[in-house]
Amino acid sequence: MSLVLRERYDLSDCNTFGVRAVARWYAEAHDDAEVRQALLEAERLGVALQVLGGGSNIVLTRDQDALVLRMCSRGVRVQADDDERVLIEAEAGEPWHPFVQHCLAAGFSGLENLSLIPGTVGASPIQNVGAYGVEVKDVLHDLTALDRQTGELHVFRREDCAFAYRDSLFKRQPGRFLILRVRFALRRQGPLCLDYGPIRQRLAELGIEQPTAQDVSRVVCAIRSEKLPDPKVLGNAGSFFKNPLVDAAVADRLRAEHPSLVAYPQADGHVKLAAGWLIEQAGWKGYREGDVGVHHLQALVLVNHGQATGEQVIALARRIQGDIAQRFGVELEMEPNII
């Protein structure tokens, strides 16, 4: 295939917030050759290359004076299978949730807790996406990425990716590496992660005593659907703030002042606070100003009710950050990438 360039392209449908922004140039890459062609075209046109996946973890704050390249590569392949463990590879442009469902239908477990997360396979390691006790780092085997500085392909093993909470090498070096495909180490049978209380509760309510990976996926989908708005209906980027990690002394102080504090001790001695709880306690849940607001069911989610701009979204986020810092002495960090 040959790369097709479009000029003055509306990106409203390329980001789940539904924010309108116009790309000076736009193209879609379906394979490695088109990715390399896009790099050459950006150089020829004298503009930066801005890469998008599913657009589910970004906020566009202005028109993009760049060549915006959307990763649209497709393909899922089993590379190894010993009847116990499976190595499966997916192209970067594969939509994440359908990929998870494909694996579950084939009898592969490990991704079930990550069901119904928006976005693409290629974007998932950048943010080290996670939910309900599982992160991408727990199942990633390795990935192939293009080094945009040298033009060389590199294979990054899991330990090379410098994964942390909603963080990775690729997030800390934005724009350098372009992920082309990812390989996951899954299981045909194995222990399920049921540590998240609502999962166990929902399974019990359904009378499921020996759940399968597909049972867990269905429960996760139900919980997420109840808590998080569908971006196709109400523009959003999912959880907008990271759950802050604080010293145990800070958590003890807050618990003394707020006995209902939602907090999770970590293995390294820090304590993870529920950002949604902090925001809700501060009275932001359901807040709306014009077309930008905080979701009425989940305080961790900022939403676009129609015509909100990226600047308005960020302005509200900064107001919330300031209020939480003043009330609780805790700094909230935005989770989406601000472009």
The per-residue pLDDT for 1 is 57
Mean pLDDT of the residues in the chain: 95
* 113 shares its domain with 141: yes
The closest alpha carbon to 22, from 53, 52, 66, 59, belongs to 66
Would you call 166 a catalytic residue per the annotation? Answer: yes
Residue 276 vs residues 9, 18, 54, 233, 272: alpha-carbon distances, Å: 35, 23, 24, 21, 12
* Residue environment code for 181-191, b if the CB has 16+ CB neighbours within 10 A, otherwise e: bbbbbbebeee
Structural domain span for residue 163: 76-187
Residue at 200 is within a domain: no
Domain count, the chain: 3
Would you call 28 a catalytic residue per the annotation? Answer: no
In tens, the pLDDT along 274-320 reads 999 999 999 999 999 999 999 999 999 999 999 999 999 999 999 99
Q: Is 73 exposed, middle or buried (0-12, 13-18, 19+ CB in 10 A)?
A: buried
**Strand partners of residue 71:** 29
* 89 shares its domain with 148: yes
Residue at 216 is within a domain: no
* 67 shares its domain with 81: no
User: What is the value of pTM for the model shown?
Assistant: 0.90
Domain of residue 39, CATH code: 3.30.43.10
Collapsing DSSP to helix, strand or coil, 66 comes out as strand
Residue whose structure tokens are 């392909």? 153
The per-residue pLDDT for 338 is 92
pLDDT at 11 over 90: yes
Which of 34, 41, 135, 335 is labelled catalytic?
335
Which of 56, 124, 168, 239 is labelled catalytic?
239
Which of 166, 181, 183, 202 is labelled catalytic?
166
In tens, the pLDDT along 210-240 reads 999 999 999 999 999 988 899 989 999 999 9
Rounded CA-CA distance 294/191 in Å is 36
* 50 shares its domain with 35: yes
Would you call 335 a catalytic residue per the annotation? Answer: yes
* 276 shares its domain with 248: yes
Domain of residue 251, CATH code: 3.90.78.10
Q: What one-character-per-residue DSSP string does 94-156 give? A: SBHHHHHHHHHHTT-BS-GGGTT--SBTTTHHHHT-EETTEEGGGTEEEEEEEETTT--EEEE
Domain of residue 115, CATH code: 3.30.465.10
* 183 shares its domain with 260: no
Collapsing DSSP to helix, strand or coil, 294 comes out as strand
Residue at 219 is within a domain: no
Residue at 1 is within a domain: no
Residue at 205 is within a domain: no
Residue at 201 is within a domain: no
* 86 shares its domain with 67: no
Residue at 141 is within a domain: yes
* 274 shares its domain with 293: yes
Element (H, E) at 79: strand 76-81
Residue at 259 is within a domain: yes
